[in-house]
Structure 1
Amino acid sequence: MEDARPTQETSDVKERLRDAIKKTAPGTALRHALDMIIAGHLGALICIGDSDNVIDAGDDGFKLDISFTANRLFELSKMDGAIVIDKDLTQILRANYHLNPDPSLPTTETGMRHRTAARMSLLTKATVISVSERRQVVTVYIGGEGHQLKSVPELMSSVNQLLVSMESTRGRLDRALLRLTTLELDNYVTLADITETIYLFEMLTTVSAELESLVLQLGSQGKSIEMQREELLGNTSDDYTLLLRDYARDNSEANAAAIRRELHGTDNADLRSAKGVAELLGYEEMAEDAILRPLGLRTLSNVSVVRKGMADKIVDEFGSLQTLLDNIESNPERLDDVGVKNPSILADSLYRMWGKRA
């Protein structure tokens, strides 16, 4: 049986890093204290959480057990040694505390404060923050890895670039999906068409994830950015899943989710490979210009009279979008059987999307 511990450990580190980013984001008391430390040209070593193990790894200093405030943390940073705070940032437990982590623990850091911080983050599950007095930067250590905090102007510069990229990609994707709908109704979708559309979905997903990470780092100053991100993302995640179900050999939701995970871990060059995409969809030796027959889940789900869950029933009844089009006028009773109350409206909607009827 495969050992799941490395995966669990990686997930734990990611979750602790996410929590650390939240705690140090602009607008938080901790970030306010760190900004004051930087402005005061001071250095600091701060350990947050896993307090018993942190304390066991040091000695001396002052036992405080006082309420945490930004001003108190700033004032205590004027002393040498580390400051120990509980995981909920409610109590400052120690100040001027001398940490002695195992010197054999591996680290690539050079400065004494940063080496200590990296080793303490390996020895314990604490979030360890090192503020460099000379370079005036803040580094957060989780699991031995350092993550340098960026200033708000630096973050906003990256945000603006990503928003432009996301808006452009969403426009390209919308155009590709409109074209794909027409091709589906014409029953002339090629593997190349699907490959290009999947690539655009992955581009949008990747840019959105990068932007989400920056929003997290911006804290209270990232709310409006998150609103813009969500607006640009819209319902594309649902459309992506439906697209994969439309064309995969196994059209289950579980398989579509598995394909999405595979695609997300695929490098950029392979995402453009029609052969690679075909294999993920469950087909072998398929040519780029091969014709694929869609189920029609995505197209049907975008018709207003098709209620949630009804697209699956229609596809189960007819088997494909083209079969539905062949029968929609000649045998409307079949649509009544699956719960479509207005077959004529559905027909008109599909024909308008096709451009065959005004």
Structure 2
Amino acid sequence: MDTPLDSAAEVSLDEAIRLTAPGTALRHSLDMIIAANLGALICVGDSDRVLAAGNDGFPLNISFTANRLFELSKMDGAIVIDRDLTQIMRANFHLNPDSSLPTTETGMRHRTAARMSLLTDAMVISVSERRQVVNIYVNGQSYQIRTVAELMTRVSQLLATLQTTRQTLDRSLLRLTSLELDNYVTLGDIASIYSQFELLSATDQNLQDIIAQLGVEGRTVEMQRMQLVGDMDHEYSLMIRDYASRSTVEEAQNIRAQFQALAAKNELDIKNIASVLGYEDRKEDSVMVPLGLRTLSRISVVREGMADKIVDEYGSLQELLDDIQQNPERLDEIGIRNSVILADSLLKMHGRR
């Protein structure tokens, strides 16, 4: 795509991808059109403005089916379908969009499609008879539909990257837990892990985009994705809260958005990470003190909300570890169930038992 879409256009494009994904009636029609070496121009939605931008053609108002759309594509002109894909309203319809509307397309069919998507809110589909490709137009921008084979090649690459990154991240988090329990975590340690989280997140988003394009063919891939990603989002948020100067859930979401923006520009370095976390005077070897939310969440008896309660009482993971041996009853006093198991688990993790 040439330029970024605004949020409304992004929603429209997502809807267009869903409607043309494998397994849908519209995609079945498009596959038949390609297989028959035909071309087509199809407008879906915003019917009033689409009809106002053309003339002639055959009024049909018949129920939409994949076979009917395929047969009608054998005629010249555009096919107009309502937004819900329930009725084919016109066939052999001659579109005349404003020729002054900007477009970088060269072929007549694609230029018309691009201009119609600028002039109306319709999803406009152009099937090239010569090149045998399908382009969707939203807000003047084009998106080319890929074949299942092409998409699966990309899926294999992304799954391999996701698996490798997840394995690296798991090892790093295991090491981080040991460092946290020993009270010797540096800014450099957490900066590298935030970068790994962002790589995993970006790869996962790319894979989700491909899965959306695969439609029914993407169900198995989605299960593989879920197995690899697991609870990444929750663990990432907890780690941000552990080290941010302000540890609220809302601030963690804001920090994560800033990390994502920095990663996209390849600027997620130690200085910027420290700044976003709320520290302007930290260096790579500066010692960072975790709250302990992430580590506590790994203990089976710590249920949802309990980690926050413990952190509010003790202030940091190290304070909790120091106090457990001297004052183990304190956990009971603040209403923590299974406090003996919790304390024993933490001490075992730290090697004190």
With the shorter chain as reference, the TM-score category is: over 0.9
2:82, 2:89 → 1: CA distance? 7
Q: Of residues 164, 186, 200 in structure 1, which corresponds to 2:196?
A: 200
2:333, 2:79 → 1: CA distance? 70
1:342, 1:89 → 2: CA distance? 57
Moved more, 180-189 or 327-336: 327-336
The answer as to whether partners of 1:155 and 1:218 remain within 8 angstroms in 2 is yes
The answer as to whether partners of 2:321 and 2:347 remain within 8 angstroms in 1 is no
Residue ranges of structure 1 left out of the alignment (5+ in a row): 1-6
The answer as to whether partners of 1:50 and 1:124 remain within 8 angstroms in 2 is yes
Q: Of residues 266, 269, 277 in structure 2, which corresponds to 1:269?
A: 266
Q: Which residue of 2 aligns with 1:123?
A: 119
Q: How does 1:93-242 map to 2 (within 5 A)?
A: 93-242=89-238
1:150, 1:356 → 2: CA distance? 57
The answer as to whether partners of 1:239 and 1:298 remain within 8 angstroms in 2 is yes
2:168, 2:350 → 1: CA distance? 20
Does 1:318 find its partner at 2:314?
Answer: yes
Partner deviation per Cα, 1:256-311 (whole Å, 9 max, x = no partner): 0000111111136322x111100000000311000000000110111111111010
Q: How does 1:79-98 map to 2 (within 5 A)?
A: 79-98=75-94
Q: Of residues 303, 323, 327 in structure 2, which corresponds to 1:327?
A: 323
2:103, 2:352 → 1: CA distance? 67
1:303, 1:218 → 2: CA distance? 38
1:342 CA displacement: 2.5
2:336, 2:97 → 1: CA distance? 69
2:164, 2:335 → 1: CA distance? 39
Does 1:63 find its partner at 2:59?
Answer: yes
Partner deviation per Cα, 1:63-112 (whole Å, 9 max, x = no partner): 00000011100110000000000011110000000000000000000000
Q: Which residue of 2 aligns with 1:47?
A: 43
The answer as to whether partners of 2:186 and 2:287 remain within 8 angstroms in 1 is yes
Q: Which residue of 1 aligns with 2:32?
A: 36
2:150, 2:130 → 1: CA distance? 20
- 1:330 to 1:356, Cα distance in 2 relative to 1, 3 A: closer
- Is the partner of 1:329 in helix, strand or coil? helix
The answer as to whether partners of 2:47 and 2:83 remain within 8 angstroms in 1 is yes
Q: Give the residue type in structure 2 aligned to 1:214.
A: I
Q: Which residue of 1 aligns with 2:251?
A: 255
2:11, 2:265 → 1: CA distance? 26
Q: Which residue of 2 aligns with 1:25?
A: 21
1:352 CA displacement: 2.7
The answer as to whether partners of 1:328 and 1:343 remain within 8 angstroms in 2 is no
- Is the partner of 1:276 in helix, strand or coil? helix
Q: Give the residue type in structure 1 aligned to 2:267.
A: D
| TM-score normalised to structure 1 length | 0.96
1:84, 1:17 → 2: CA distance? 18
1:354 CA displacement: 2.6
The answer as to whether partners of 1:310 and 1:338 remain within 8 angstroms in 2 is no
1:237, 1:252 → 2: CA distance? 15
2:162, 2:28 → 1: CA distance? 31
The answer as to whether partners of 1:23 and 1:31 remain within 8 angstroms in 2 is yes
Moved more, 231-240 or 335-344: 335-344
Q: Which residue of 2 aligns with 1:3?
A: none
The answer as to whether partners of 1:139 and 1:146 remain within 8 angstroms in 2 is yes
2:316, 2:296 → 1: CA distance? 11
- Is the partner of 1:249 in helix, strand or coil? coil
2:239, 2:215 → 1: CA distance? 34
- Is the partner of 1:42 in helix, strand or coil? coil
1:39 CA displacement: 0.5
Cα RMSD, aligned residues only: 1.1
1:356 CA displacement: 4.1
Partner deviation per Cα, 1:310-352 (whole Å, 9 max, x = no partner): 1011001001000000011211221012222222211221123
1:88, 1:332 → 2: CA distance? 63
- Is the partner of 1:250 in helix, strand or coil? coil
1:215 CA displacement: 0.4
2:137, 2:12 → 1: CA distance? 10
The answer as to whether partners of 1:318 and 1:324 remain within 8 angstroms in 2 is yes
Moved more, 72-81 or 341-350: 341-350
- 1:334 to 1:356, Cα distance in 2 relative to 1, 3 A: closer
1:206, 1:130 → 2: CA distance? 30
Give the 4+ runs in structure 1 shifted more than 3 A: none
- Count of residues in correspondence between the two structures: 349
The answer as to whether partners of 2:125 and 2:135 remain within 8 angstroms in 1 is yes
Matched-pair identity in % = 61
| TM-score normalised to structure 2 length | 0.97
- 1:152 to 1:28, Cα distance in 2 relative to 1, 3 A: same
